[in-house]
Chains A and B, each alone.
Chain A
């Protein structure tokens, strides 16, 4: 069974601080996605990384896929209250069935 562990589980920081969220597995994934979910809504895709070692930037968010495609990180620079939410990584299994396994989640709260 493929599992994705995220750390930290909870994070409360002040506006303007930097943070990094980690997504780790012992399994290899063909691609990895990051989603953000707000209360009462479904997750919304932020980015997809496909190649080992790939780095993608989305404004203040930087995403990296591990060289072995087993782990990923999300770094937020100068966090803002609007970044508050549940961050989820999701790995696509290599079996070719378009099956996505979600991580355990990181709940971020940015205080003004």
Chain B
């Protein structure tokens, strides 16, 4: 079974600062995806960024980037130039990659509550 661990229950930074959220996972699979989801108070789960395990290059989406260390089973999220709208719960998630079998279940971590202060 896969497990995902987020060791930082809460984090708080000032607007415009850079913040890094940590995530580790455990799996015996070789092919998988990793995700960061954002859940603001509105409750809508929003995909922030996705990484395919077979890709060595770290994914980036505008101000969001990841540091994917496959051997260490580590997947951290860096938010640059943080904005007030980044305030939310952030969840790290794992999904096995099975060819021709469509989307698999997501396994989530416990979440990190991020607050951006003005």
| A in complex with B | no
